[in-house]
Amino acid sequence: METNNLLLAAMLVMVTGAPLAAFAADTKAPQEPPAAGLRIPFLHGLFSGQAAGQSELVSLERANAWINSPALTASDLRGKVVLIDFWTFTCVNWRRTLPYVRAWADKYKDKGLVVIGVHAPEFAFEKNVDDVRSAVKEMQIDYPVAVDSEHVIWRAFNNEYWPALYFIDAQGRLRHHYFGEGSYEQSEMVIQQLLAEAGATGIDRDPVSVDPKGLEVAADWRNLMSPENYVGYEKAENFVSAGEMIRDKPGVYDLPAKLPLNGWGLSGDWTVREDAGLLNKPNGKIAYRFHARDLNLVMGPVVPGASARFRVLIDGNPPGAAHGTDVDQQGAGIASEKRLYQLIRQPNPIADREFEIEFLDPGVEVFAFTFG
């Protein structure tokens, strides 16, 4: 979930000289602006190599598995408008786009639209196909999902981001792509235009209406002053515990007396690896000073089927009304699988807060913080 420094404000990008040029020019809209001076938090990704030069849709034949559908090929999709949606199940940025993608898949399936979710993992544990299946079921995804554990489809599209939408017309031509959150009405208008070009009639031009819950609720952009961050040393920023972070070896850490905004630290016995922090003994803590409505954490037990109890505080107190969906008002929760946990959703007014999570059991891995 690496935050990108590039400002990608107008992301409805033409990639062919097809007749949508004038249409696209009329539908461009900027994303909801983040707080001044903050790196854009709604777009993250992995840099990929150049595409192999073959048709993007042909790469679907190299999916590791398919969910909700038999394997689909480029020839199967001929004559259909196709929306490719790159996702990974721990990505909150993608999760906030999901209500719209689900709604488009349902609204336009009888008009010739095929939505294909391409699950391309960020963390190694997301390669487990059974876990992807569980995520698909839990998130009520009914459209076809291609499992792209080795990023073969990702590279064929020359993709670099989650979330990323690719719009393909009924002739199999890649016509538009859009990276990041937002501009949902504009994306839906592109779908409508491509369907009309393919001969669909009776298209309802009103945009879909969604009612997101939990992690799917849009970020509070105007109060978002904390970018995503990682616990693993490869991408960790603003680590402020005393001394340097010890790589790949157990170390005992202490929290500083005061944290700066967006600074964080460890307490207790941890092994910090490239991609995550592993708690070796009970009662280890992480503290983080943040400014956002939501605080989420990618974490889970090392051993499948195990669990780790935890307790959350905000400004030294139980969260009460500021608790997230994965903790109670007293801040108690259980990490029973590796996934994205919503720990804080605070009511207004939004201010700088100090978050603390204490793990009562060892054997938990902590990967990344995200905010909303």
Q: Where are the domains of the chain?
A: 13-216, 224-371
Cis peptide before 144 (omega within 30 of 0): no
Of 288, 283, 299, 366, the C-alpha closest to 338 is: 299
| Residues 323/250, Cβ–Cβ less than 8 Å | no
Query: What is the rounded distance in angstroms from the CA atom of residue 259 to the CA atom of residue 247?
Result: 22
In 3-state terms, what secondary structure has residue 174?
Answer: strand
Q: Report, as an integer, the average pLDDT of 84-112.
A: 98
Query: What is the rounded distance in angstroms from the CA atom of residue 60 to the CA atom of residue 100?
Result: 23
Query: What is the rounded distance in angstroms from the CA atom of residue 93 to the CA atom of residue 103?
Result: 17
Q: Alpha carbon of 138 to those of 1, 132, 141, 173, 187: distances in Å?
A: 21, 10, 8, 33, 25
Question: What is the pTM (predicted TM-score) of this model?
Answer: 0.87
| Residues 228/369, Cβ–Cβ less than 8 Å | yes
- To the nearest 5 percent, what fractions of the chain are helix, strand and coil? 20, 30, 50
pLDDT at 311: 98
Class of domain 13-216: alpha beta
Q: Is pLDDT at 330 greater than 60 in this prediction?
A: yes
Helix (H) or strand (E) holding 134: helix 129-138
Residues whose CB falls within 8 Å of the CB of residue 137, separated by 6 or more in sequence, listed in order: none
Q: Report, as an integer, the average pLDDT of 314-343.
A: 98
Q: Report, as an integer, the average pLDDT of 286-296.
A: 98
Q: What percent of the chain has pLDDT over 70?
A: 85
Q: Return the CATH fold of 224-371.
A: Jelly Rolls (2.60.120)
pLDDT in tens, 250-266: 999 999 999 999 999 99
Q: Report, as an integer, the average pLDDT of 108-117.
A: 98
pLDDT at 38: 35
Q: 13-216 with 224-371: one CATH topology?
A: no
Average pLDDT, the chain: 88
Give the residue, 94 or 44, on which the prediction is more confident.
94
Helix (H) or strand (E) holding 168: strand 164-168
Of the pLDDT bands very low, low, confident and very high (cuts 50, 70, 90), residue 296 is: very high
| Residues 125/23, Cβ–Cβ less than 8 Å | no
Q: Is pLDDT at 116 greater than 90 in this prediction?
A: yes
**Tokens 């544990």, located at residue:** 125
pLDDT at 45: 55
pLDDT at 243: 87
Q: Is pLDDT at 217 greater than 80 in this prediction?
A: yes
Q: Report, as an integer, the average pLDDT of 115-139.
A: 98
Q: Report, as an integer, the average pLDDT of 179-183.
A: 95
Q: Report, as an integer, the average pLDDT of 86-98.
A: 98
pLDDT at 55: 66
pLDDT at 44: 58
